[in-house]
């Protein structure tokens, strides 16, 4: 069946934002207390968990999230690192340092530079890597990926990708080249707001991006990463839609694992000032809500967040973190000070972060998963 006949887009089109907001506004503290007594949380309970009323119950929510996380993932925290291959981009987005309208030096790593970056990153201990580029199909597209992936796969067991949305056939090709996981954050599930922040380029195509996880599921990808960019729109409504998306993906592509992230906007060159940024406590609420909703899903926390917050969130629902991140091409081998996509907050080295994780009672997992154990094999 063609993905266009069954994609999440058709379910998304039926969602009424006003009704979602009403559901959130109508939640009372008694509703939260009743939910905390339930043995299982469903999609229908998410308006309660994401409501303002639930903010006064952060401690019991966090405790339950912690228990569910330990039951499913044990005392482990997965480590990964982003490798920025290029800051070339053909899109113009209001919040991104790589936007085509920004005047900055552009760089795409050569195969030799990719090899040098891999050697430095591997020496830090990582065996899971996230490859990131700006969205430029002509210069950083399939031809480039097929050139550099064999180099990268020689060094890392688990390879994740965060690039422009591709076709199902292209994802199947990349899977054959060793890509295990693809992250494609919708950024914003409210189309009017989405169009206000995505001004030029292929990223203006809201539907093409929204249907990307469908193509990934049909391509047989081991893991599909989804999420919202917090700070663009009403985060409570957006995350309700994100929960619906996750529920849909789990039902339709159950053989693929899922991960979710809640990146908050960070300062960058030419970036906007966020209008709807959740607080630290609200971010904890989000993490706990999605853990109660889906005990199986990986929850990712990046170096966008502060060292103090990341320390406090360890074990409360998060299962994967980045460490020692550089957000510019050549950032590891060359230590290039410019070209960054955004400013990171937690600048601790991987070794420092590993020590913190171990002192908190967790085992560091440098390799995400053995593909041989996948449900698809």
Query: Which of the listed ranges 291-300, 322-331, 368-377 does the model predict with the highest average pLDDT?
Result: 291-300
Q: What is the pLDDT of residue 36?
A: 95
Q: What is the pLDDT of residue 67?
A: 97
Of 360, 369, 354, 357, nearest to 125 by C-alpha is 354
**4, part of any domain:** no
Task: Give me the chain's average pLDDT, please.
Answer: 91
**375, part of any domain:** no
Q: Which two tokens stand for residue 186?
A: 């919708």
Is residue 49 predicted with pLDDT exceeding 70? yes
- pLDDT top residue among 61 and 100: 61
**198, part of any domain:** yes
Taking the C-alpha atoms of residue 317 and residue 314, their distance in angstroms, rounded to an integer, is 7
Q: What is the pLDDT of residue 104?
A: 75
Q: What is the pLDDT of residue 368?
A: 76
Q: What is the pLDDT of residue 106?
A: 85
* Domain span including residue 82: 9-370
| 227-253 pLDDT, tens digit each | 999 989 999 999 999 999 999 999 999
**1, part of any domain:** no
| 7-48 pLDDT, tens digit each | 999 999 999 999 999 999 999 999 999 999 999 999 999 999
β-bridge partners, 130:
82, 160
| DSSP SS3 for 254 | coil
**175, part of any domain:** yes
How large is the average pLDDT for residues 331-348? 72
**24, part of any domain:** yes
Is residue 172 predicted with pLDDT exceeding 70? yes
| 269-311 pLDDT, tens digit each | 545 667 788 999 999 999 999 999 999 999 999 998 999 999 9
Q: What is the pLDDT of residue 3?
A: 47
Number of domains in the chain: 1
Of 67, 31, 66, nearest to 49 by C-alpha is 31
Q: What is the CATH number of the domain that holds 212?
A: 3.20.20.70
Taking the C-alpha atoms of residue 355 and residue 231, their distance in angstroms, rounded to an integer, is 32
CA distances from 351 to 41, 295, 344, 357, 362 (A): 37, 29, 17, 10, 14
Q: How far is CA 150 from the centre of its chain?
A: 24
Q: What is the pLDDT of residue 276?
A: 81
Q: What is the pLDDT of residue 372?
A: 54
Q: What is the pLDDT of residue 1?
A: 44
Q: What is the pLDDT of residue 4?
A: 54
**112, part of any domain:** yes
| 106-119 pLDDT, tens digit each | 889 999 999 999 99
**294, part of any domain:** yes
The pTM is what?
0.93
Is residue 156 predicted with pLDDT exceeding 90? yes
Q: What is the pLDDT of residue 103?
A: 73
How large is the average pLDDT for residues 134-157? 93
Q: What is the pLDDT of residue 92?
A: 87
Q: By the 8 A CB rule, do 126 and 79 touch?
A: yes
**Number of alpha carbons in the 13 Å side-chain half-sphere of residue 304:** 18
% of the chain exceeding 70 in pLDDT = 92
């Amino acid at each position: 069946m063609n993905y266009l006949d069954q994609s999440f887009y058709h379910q998304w089109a039926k969602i009424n934002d006003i009704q979602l907001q009403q559901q959130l506004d109508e939640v009372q503290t008694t509703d939260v207390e009743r939910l905390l007594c339930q043995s299982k949380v469903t999609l229908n309970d998410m308006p309660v968990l994401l409501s303002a009323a639930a903010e006064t119950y952060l401690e019991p929510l966090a405790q339950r999230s912690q228990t569910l996380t330990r039951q499913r993932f044990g005392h482990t925290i997965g480590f990964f690192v982003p490798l920025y291959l290029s800051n070339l981009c053909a899109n113009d987005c209001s919040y991104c340092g790589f936007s085509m309208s920004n005047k900055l030096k552009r760089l795409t790593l050569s195969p030799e530079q990719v090899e040098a970056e891999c050697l430095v990153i591997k020496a830090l201990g990582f065996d899971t890597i996230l490859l990131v580029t700006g969205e430029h199909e002509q210069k950083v597209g399939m031809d480039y990926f097929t050139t550099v992936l064999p180099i990268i796969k020689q060094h890392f067991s688990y390879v994740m990708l965060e690039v422009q949305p591709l076709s199902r056939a292209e994802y199947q090709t990349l899977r054959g080249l060793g890509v295990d996981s693809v992250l494609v954050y919708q950024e914003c599930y409210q189309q009017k707001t989405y169009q206000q922040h995505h001004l030029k380029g292929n990223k203006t195509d809201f539907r093409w991006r929204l249907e990307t996880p469908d193509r990934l599921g049909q391509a047989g990808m081991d893991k599909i990463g989804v999420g919202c960019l917090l700070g663009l729109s009403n985060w409570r409504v957006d995350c309700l839609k994100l929960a619906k998306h996750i529920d849909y993906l789990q039902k339709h592509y159950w053989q693929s694992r899922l991960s979710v992230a809640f990146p908050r906007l960070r300062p960058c060159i030419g970036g906007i000032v966020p209008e709807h940024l959740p607080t630290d406590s609200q971010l904890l609420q989000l993490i706990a809500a999605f853990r109660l909703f889906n005990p199986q899903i990986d929850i990712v926390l990046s170096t966008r967040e502060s060292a103090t917050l990341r320390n406090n969130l360890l074990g409360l629902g998060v299962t994967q973190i980045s460490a020692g991140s550089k957000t510019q091409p050549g950032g590891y081998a060359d230590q290039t000070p410019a070209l960054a996509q955004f400013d990171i907050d937690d600048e601790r080295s991987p070794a420092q972060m590993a020590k913190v994780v171990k002192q908190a009672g967790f085992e560091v997992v440098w390799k995400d998963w053995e593909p041989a154990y996948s449900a698809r094999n």
